Structure 1
Amino acid sequence: MKKRLLASTMLCLTAGAALAQEPVKIGFITTLVGPAGYLGQDVRDGFLLAAGSDPALGGIPVEILIEDDALKPANGRQAAERFLNDEGIRLITGVVFSNIASAVVPEVVDSGAIFVSPNAGPSEFAGADCHENYFVMSWLTDTMQGSAGMNAKRLGYKRAVVVAPNYQAGKDAIAGFTRYFDGEIVAELFTPLGHAEFSNEIAQIRSVAPDVVFQFQPGASGIAFLKQYAQAGLDIPLVVSEPSLDHAILKAVGDAAVGVQVSGAWNADLPFPVNAEFVKTFVDTYGRMPTMYAAQGYDTAQAIGAALKAVGGSLDDTAAFRAAMLRADFDSVRGNFSFGPNQHPVQDWYAIGIEKKADGTLDLVTGEKLAEGLGDPFAADCKLPPAE
Structure 2
Amino acid sequence: MSELASAPPSHPLSIVLAGGGTGGHIEPMLALADALRRRPGADLRITCLGTERGMETRLVPARGYDLRLIPPVPLPRKPTVDLLRVPGRVRRAVAQTRALLDELEADVVVGFGGYVALPAYLAARRAGVPIVVHEQNALPGLANRIGARLAARVAVTTPGTPLHAGVHVGMPLRVAIGSLDRAAMRAEARTAFGLEADRPTLLVFGGSQGAATLNRAAVGAAGALSEAGIQVLHARGPKNTDVEVPPRTGSAPYVVVDYLERMDLAYAAADLALCRSGAVTVAELSAVGLPGVFVPLPIGNGEQRRNALPVVEAGGGLLVEDADLTPGWIAEHVVPLLTDPEALAGYARHAAAAGAPDADERLADMVLDVATGTGVER
Q: Which has the higher strand share?
A: 1
> Fold conserved (TM > 0.5)?
no
* TM-score, normalisation: structure 2: 0.36
